[in-house]
Amino acid sequence: MCKPISPTAFDPEEAVKYLCKDFPVRRVSEVLQWAVREKAEERKTTGVVTEADLQAVDTEFKKMFCPKNKPKNETLLRIWREDKVKRVKRGHAIEIAFALRMNYAQANKLLERFWHNGLYMRDMKDVIYRYGLEHGWSYDKALKTISDSALYQDMDNQGNPALDEDSKNLTQDLDNEYENFVKSEADLKEFIKQNKHLLGSFRRKAYLRFKELYDETKSKMDEGVAGDYEEKKKDGEARYKRKKATMAEICEEIVKGIPEMKKRGVKNTVFRLISEFLPTRREMSQIFNQYEVNGIVSQVDRKLLILTWLASEDGTIDEGQEYNAFIGMIDNLLESCGMPVINYNHPFDWMLVNTIYCVYHDKDEDTDINDIKERLKNFIDRLKDTGNPDDEESEENMEDE
């Protein structure tokens, strides 16, 4: 469980110490051991779990996860158990849950232990995964159901009168509706049909919102560059004609140096969890320049969306605005794009929330309250400086994309 934030004071040094040394980073092998024991607890023949119980569950798990038609899974399982990689992708974590015949609650615990968000009721794929876990499906059947175009095509969406799409508790409302209504595959199809406008990966909506925020940041930076140009022109120093910010400058403003953590080979596992999945500047440029290719909308990562929002005018703290209200604005942004809200048990979210909290409780009158991005960068720089140099090197990612 994550260390709670003090309601009266915040010590950045203590936060750095906690994130570097005390954050509960688990090895992949330990998570797999926990998962096998979790299932063995259900099947134990005596008052305690025996080696025979563990072996029985593990044998069945390997049989389900490593069938003959999936030779790569056997390699994956071996390198996970040897801790040759530091993380398991979300799709593989869900596949592990199916292979262990976990229920919905157990699968969510497993995802959280692998530093992923749990199954999300506003994502159509996750709704199907949930149903599959609850009804003994194989992972392959769940994938087939997701990809089965007949399930989603030609659906006349009339909406669900029982749900208010403007409700602040829409995710919980969907969860309640699912539990009360979905008892069969026919019910699942009807649930998706009625709530189609509320479900989905939200990739298109997330991209459009991201592009809107990017344009806001670009406009703000263009004004600054143009102002500098005019000042230099007055002083006779303007020897160049550039009056707009470059894409590289905008990228730098949005991510504030976070991707450099990868390039510098930071060794601590927590640092990689903070920086992973953030694109390089070249990848960001591709996201900016191409909206849709062959019918596939560019994927905007959750961390990148948050950072872009903080760099935009929308991420400005209004005078008198409370800390909880500001965090609520981030939650609203994420939920509107079909992304899980702030999770205090994830390193990136924990670091972000503590940085924002520090902004609200800094008594230095000379400090700009809206300088969150600079504080975030300083926080990360301090983590780099405080990192444990004895941590082992990051292994080459052996999982296939």
pLDDT in tens, 96-154: 999 999 999 999 999 988 888 788 888 888 999 999 999 999 999 999 998 875 555 45
Question: Where does the pLDDT of residue 362 fall: very low under 50, low under 70, confident under 90, or very high at 90 and above?
Answer: low
- Does 213 share its domain with 168? no
The answer to whether residue 15 is domain-embedded is: no
The answer to whether residue 96 is domain-embedded is: yes
- Does 291 share its domain with 228? yes
This prediction has a pTM of 0.73
- Does 332 share its domain with 351? yes
What's the pLDDT at 156?
55
- Measure the CA–CA gap between 305 and 254, rounded to whole angstroms: 9
| Domain boundary pick from 198, 220, 238 | 198
- Measure the CA–CA gap between 33 and 54, rounded to whole angstroms: 9
**pLDDT at position 38 over 60:** yes
What are 223's two structure tokens? 């004004």
Most confident of 10-19, 157-166, 227-236, 327-336: 327-336
- Report the chain's terminal Cα–Cα distance, integer Å: 31
Query: Which candidate, 388, 379, 321, places its Cα nearest to that of 352?
Result: 379
Residue with tokens 């929308």: 314
- Does 227 share its domain with 362? yes
Question: Where does the pLDDT of residue 76 fall: very low under 50, low under 70, confident under 90, or very high at 90 and above?
Answer: very high
- Does 171 share its domain with 224? no
- Measure the CA–CA gap between 216 and 213, rounded to whole angstroms: 5
The answer to whether residue 37 is domain-embedded is: yes
What's the pLDDT at 73?
95
Average of pLDDT values for 361-380?
67
What's the pLDDT at 195?
83
Phi, psi of 281 (to 5 degrees): -65, -35
The answer to whether residue 17 is domain-embedded is: no
* Exposure letters 302-341 (e unless 16+ CB within 10 A, then b): bbbbbbbbbbbeebebeeeeebeebbeebeebbbebbbbb
Residues of the chain above pLDDT 90, percent: 27
- Does 325 share its domain with 260? yes
Give the bridge partners for 293, in sequence order: 296
In three-state secondary structure terms, 296 is strand
What's the pLDDT at 198?
77
Residue with tokens 């390699």: 75
- Does 176 share its domain with 241? no
Query: Which candidate, 303, 122, 282, places its Cα nearest to that of 196?
Result: 122
Other Cβ atoms less than 10 A from the Cβ of 32: the count is 21
Residue 137 is which amino acid?
W
Residue with tokens 């950072």: 307
Phi, psi of 89 (to 5 degrees): -65, 155
- Does 294 share its domain with 349? yes
* Angle of the 323-336 helix axis to the 203-234 helix axis, nearest 10: 120
The answer to whether residue 401 is domain-embedded is: no
- Does 253 share its domain with 119? no
Give the bridge partners for 292, in sequence order: 297
| Domain boundary pick from 198, 228, 263 | 198
Report the C-alpha dihedral over residues 281, 287, 290, 295, rounded to 10 degrees. 140
Q: How many domains does the chain fold into?
A: 2
Most confident of 15-19, 123-127, 274-278, 367-371: 123-127
In three-state secondary structure terms, 297 is strand
Domain region containing 362 = 203-386
The answer to whether residue 400 is domain-embedded is: no
Residue 332 has, within 13 A of its CA and on its CB side, a CA count of 12
Question: Where does the pLDDT of residue 274 fall: very low under 50, low under 70, confident under 90, or very high at 90 and above?
Answer: confident
The answer to whether residue 179 is domain-embedded is: yes
**pLDDT single digits (tens) 276-313:** 777 777 788 878 777 766 666 777 888 889 989 988 88
Taking CA atoms, 331 is separated from 337, 338, 378, in Å, by: 10, 11, 24
- Measure the CA–CA gap between 301 and 9, rounded to whole angstroms: 32
What's the pLDDT at 267?
55
Mention every residue, 6+ apart, whose C-beta is less than 8 A from residue 370. 315, 316, 317
| Domain boundary pick from 172, 198, 224 | 198
- Does 93 share its domain with 114? yes
- Does 188 share its domain with 263? no
- Does 152 share its domain with 207? no
The answer to whether residue 92 is domain-embedded is: yes
Query: Which candidate, 382, 388, 301, places its Cα nearest to that of 337?
Result: 301
